[in-house]
Amino acid sequence: MEVIRIAGYTPEEKVEIARSFLIPHQLRENGLAAERLRWTRGSVLELITDYTQEAGVRGLERRVAAVCRKVARRAAEGETRPVVVNRKTLERLLGPPPYLLDKPEGPGEVGVANGLACERLRWTRGSVLELITDYTQEAGVRGLERRVAAVCRKVARRAAEGETRPVVVNRKTLERLLGPPPYLLDKPEGPGEVGVANGLAWTESGGEVLTLEATMTPGAGLVLTGQIGDVMRESGAAAFTWARGRGAELGFDAAMFGRHEVHVHVPAGAIPKDGPSAGIAIATAILSLATRIRIRSDVAMTGEVTLRGRVLPVGGVREKALAALRAGIRRVILPRKNLQDLRDIPRDLKKKITFIPVDHMDEVLDAALDRTPVPRSRRASRPHTSRQIATAKPR
């Protein structure tokens, strides 16, 4: 059985769903004319943010229905004035908002619970970002909330013991209160290495950067390690077969694969990995190994590869792009057919990452390798140059 995961709605999408479908439906169900109960866009947004906490709209529909029922009852009791829904109306009909969030106030401070005043524990934007990237690894914010609560509890305990100085949260504070970061990422530095490629993967906790390592030892064939699933193993075999047939065009002796065993390892061996999206990363690592050309460390890639070198679309592009950004990677190679998925990526994220769309492995090598491989027959007459790379413009 295949599990289909559906992404949650944004607040703006929920507003449109409520105004176009949920509110008209509940007005009809409760016998109310549209002019009898008027909803503004702001009131719908308040209902979404302060009275619901969900990915879908089921709870929102229940809240809309509750408002309509109470207005219909008052109309049946003789109330004739039209009702305009606003903050006061919602509080009168539904009670205090159960999910009212305290908005941050001041330059870079966040209000803190656990009996602490805002000035007692100060969070900067940078410290919150460090907490997210180095102490959590998830698609949601449940783990983040637990980490924030742990910091607040420890500061509150020290305050109860007589500590009076305000605490400014920074890296040293986080390490002192929470210990060493469990998810500290290695940021790409330097010109890259031969046989080391950054792949992008989708996991239950969001996107992840996988650093694939390839090396050669005496023997023959291909070995894949790192808790590799069957689909990823087959994708690696396809990448290996394609790479073996490119010796003449890319300037290396393909016979080396008959004398050497290629070992590709995906670190974090305790975590199972599967899927075809590492195909182009495996192929790039193998060809880097064969040509002795380094792979750029500031590039990450995702895409399935065929025996003809075509690059096929994959899923989870949004999560993978977020993972690349967290790892400090600013160039992402992806299948051209995945360009449509960039519409789901926030505009500010698209400004920070250069997306390089490709149809074939030749384009992947142009974008990922430190220089373009040159066939041996043309080395004497052609210097090493890089072809122009087409990049996707943010929309």
Output the domain CATH number for residue 76: 1.10.8.60
Whole-number pLDDT of residue 338 = 93
Q: Is residue 22 part of a domain?
A: yes
Whether residues 136 and 211 fall in one domain = no
**Is residue 388 a part of any domain in this protein?**
no
| Shared domain check, 130 and 89 | no
Query: Which residue range(s) make up the domain with 163?
Result: 118-178
Distance, CA of 362 to chain centre: 27
pLDDT at 189: 61
From the list 320, 350, 381, 386, the catalytic residue is 320
How far is residue 158's CA from residue 227's CA, in Å, rounded to a whole number? Answer: 44
Q: What is the pLDDT of residues 225-252, one digit of tens each?
A: 988 889 999 999 999 999 988 887 888 8
Q: Are residues 279 and 308 in the same domain?
A: yes
**Domain co-membership, 224 together with 330:** yes
Give me the catalytic one of 127, 277, 288, 297.
277
pTM over 0.95: no
Whether 111 maps to a domain, the answer reads no
Domain count, the chain: 3
Assigned domain for 59 exists: yes
CATH number, domain of 268, equals 3.30.230.10
Active site residue 277: yes
- Shared-domain flag, residues 227 and 312: yes
| 107 lies in some domain | no
CA 169, chain centre distance (Å) = 25
With respect to residue 184, please indicate whether it lies within any of the assigned structural domains.
Answer: no
Q: Are residues 237 and 372 in the same domain?
A: yes
Is 110 part of any domain? no
**Cα gap 100→121, rounded to integer Å:** 21
Residues of the chain with pLDDT under 70: 1-2, 4-7, 100-119, 139, 184-190, 204-205, 269, 375-395
Do both 326 and 204 map to the same domain?
Answer: yes
Using left for φ > 0, alpha for ψ between -120 and 50, and beta otherwise, residue 310 falls in beta
Is residue 127 part of the annotated active site? The answer reads no
Residues 253 and 336 in one domain: yes
Q: How do beta strands 196-203 and 206-218 pair?
A: antiparallel
User: In this structure, are 340 and 285 located in the same domain?
Assistant: yes
CA dihedral 235, 237, 241, 242 (to 10 degrees): 20
For 224, other C-beta atoms within 10 Å of its C-beta total 21
Per-residue model confidence as pLDDT tens digits over 62-109:
999 999 999 999 888 888 888 888 888 888 888 888 876 555 454 444
Same domain, yes or no: 295 and 365 = yes
For residues 82 and 220, membership in a common domain is answered with: no
Question: Of 94, 128, 157, at which residue does a domain stop?
Answer: 94
> In degrees rounded to 5, what are phi and psi of residue 76?
-65, -25
pLDDT value at residue 391: 55
Residues 319 and 217 in one domain: yes
Task: Report yes or no: 28 and 70 within 8 Å, Cβ to Cβ.
Answer: no
Residue 307 lies in a domain: yes
